[in-house]
Amino acid sequence: MLKYPKHIKYRQISDERLYDNLQRKCEQFGGNIKSTFEKMEHLLQIIGFEKSNDSNWYYGNKDVKLSSLWICHRQWIEKQIIYKTIIGIPKTVCLLSNGKWRDYEILFDYQHRAIMLLDEKKLKIKLLQVGNPNKSSLEFNVHIQYYNDIDIYQTHAKWACLILNHTWHFRTTTSLERDYLSDCLSIIWNDEYNQIHKDPFNPFSISLKQGCQYFKDKLQKREHFVHGADELIEFKCIEPHTNNEDALLHHIYKHLPCYPTVQVHWTIMGYFVVPYTHTVSIERTHIPKRSIHIDSTAIPLNEKCMFNPLLYECDVQKLRVMQDALHFKLRLDNQLHRLLRELIKNGYLADLTSEKPAISSAEIKEQIHYNEKDENSKLVFNDQILTILKDIKKLYHDDIHKQMGYPLQLWNICAILLYCGKSCNVQFSYDQIKFRHHIWPFMDYYLQEAIMILHRHERREESEMELYCGLKGVRLKNIKEIKSGSFISHVSTSDDIQVAQRFRSNQGCILHFHPSMRRARGILSCDVSWISPFKYEREILFARSYLSLMNDEKTHKELVHGMQK
């Protein structure tokens, strides 16, 4: 009825045939026909069917109630085994339809090789028939192509896109979302984070050479979207031993038991870098320095260096537990909405508006549709009220960001701006050193993501820069127990020791960072002075440490270098 709402035959059900079909199923699987038939009658009534005097079932409504039918269909679809085995099956997608991008709720009907899409606004169903629903599960007819898209003028956003079967275009806001969508549509492979992904290969039409090229192109698109890195420096595909790379996969694997229902192992390594033309120099001659003789009130109130950010060996397990828990709080959609909602929830609405707004906080929340009880609700982005939106769009078009090829999303720029120039920095940093990262999951993640991206776009190998971090009221104890090169929170530094001295105040200490800290590939850092409103701080920002880099102690020590007090 969802697929063919105007066909009368789907609105009529023979009670006798229904009973006979259910009885055969019950005999086959050992079910109870009486209770099963009663449940079926109940379900038909829920959908909207009525039993007439001739004992048959009829859907009496002239117009099919799509919303109620969709809910019932979704409940049935989600009981499929594959829905319980695949991680990250998307519930909504953005599809190009009639030249416009539209949001749909999505269901994957694997049994019939179909994708069902619901336009909630217009209450219309769109059916994508991916393959022949009457053929066996050994049908190979899925083709997926990755590409990236960007709009620097209107939406200030980039998208990870894919084309299904050369016909349907989908787009997502993150590379991981695209991978999840691709998984649902599918050769199994693990990425660098040990996540399992799937790809559809037709062994009767794909050669070994074409398969390797497919993975090369796909990895390049992923790396370009995530890091801006699309220049290939090395690619290895350790495939099965064969003298003919043009041979079809069918001829290579047909001798395997249970073929074609088999899994094969390929080892593929691809290394990509940001093209030199999209990297920026670390020279800082254009950034001003402020005299040490300044009024203390002119120093920003975001005391970002007053807390001890160093990670001690005894706290590594705490950080592991925290990061595991944090992973489940993150959502991949509506990133900027979630970041701003997090700021409002934590009491920092003022950081998103002008210094002296004309209306009260309660009125602002009402006008932007802030609903504290619904964490998935979207805000109304009025840049006359949420003035930070103007700021981040302006920074998006900064010459430095343009030279990099616009790799950051708006929420990345927003996270850096909030950290560098807003009052929320104090509580954010304090919560992090107290292992309360769960209070700020989105700001923490988007800040880490931004530093990671900018880190790849800087020519850090040229660095001979000494950096300093002033810690107010902090005296380091048990220095030998500090985990070298590891931070429990994000760390602000400057190449101007006078800045560190001002943050240290009369009591505290100054951390001295050797130039190798900037060059180390395992310690993420970047220059954020082009985003920070306080240019004279000449800020270099280090990211909170990734636990994955600390699992192997030997590898960790190779990645990091000395930090001096």
DSSP 111-154: GGTEEEEEETTTTEEEEEE-S-TTS-TT-----EEEEEEEETTT
pLDDT digits (tens, 9 = 90+) for 459-482: 998 888 899 988 887 777 666 666
Query: Which neighbouring-strand residues pair with 125?
Result: 118
Q: Find the helix or strand (DSSP H, E) in which 144 lies.
A: strand 144-151
Q: What are phi and psi of 451, to 5 degrees?
A: -65, -40
pLDDT digits (tens, 9 = 90+) for 145-187: 999 999 999 999 999 999 998 999 999 999 989 988 887 876 5
| pLDDT for res 291 | 44
Tell me: pLDDT of 221 over 90.
yes
pTM of the predicted model, to two decimals? 0.79
Cα–Cα dist 533/433, whole Å: 25
Domain ranges of the chain: 8-63, 65-200, 204-273, 296-564
Report residue 256 CA to chain centroid gap: 38
Cα–Cα dist 291/536, whole Å: 9
Using N-to-C axis directions, what is the helix angle for 441-456 and 316-327, rounded to 10°? 100
The lowest-confidence range among 12-21, 35-44, 233-242, 271-280 is 233-242
Tokens of 89: 């099956």
Tokens of 450: 């931004």
Cα–Cα dist 515/461, whole Å: 10
| pLDDT for res 558 | 47
Tokens of 453: 């991206």
Cα–Cα dist 125/144, whole Å: 23
Domain 296-564 in CATH 3.90.176? The answer is yes
Give which of 206, 208, 205, 187 is closest to 196, Cα–Cα. Answer: 187
Is the separation of the CB atoms in 46 and 72 below 8 Å? yes
Tell me: pLDDT of 369 over 80.
yes
Tokens of 544: 């909170």
* Residue 59 DSSP SS3: strand
Q: What is the mean pLDDT of residues 416-444?
A: 92
Q: What are phi and psi of 476, to 5 degrees?
A: -75, 130
Assess whether the previous peptide bond of 357 is cis (omega < 30° from 0): no
Which class in CATH covers the domain with range 65-200? mainly beta
Higher pLDDT, 415 or 210: 415
pLDDT digits (tens, 9 = 90+) for 54-78: 888 888 765 567 777 888 888 888 8
Tokens of 30: 């050992």
Integer-rounded Cα Rg, in Å, for the chain is: 28
Tell me: pLDDT of 138 over 70.
no
| pLDDT for res 403 | 95
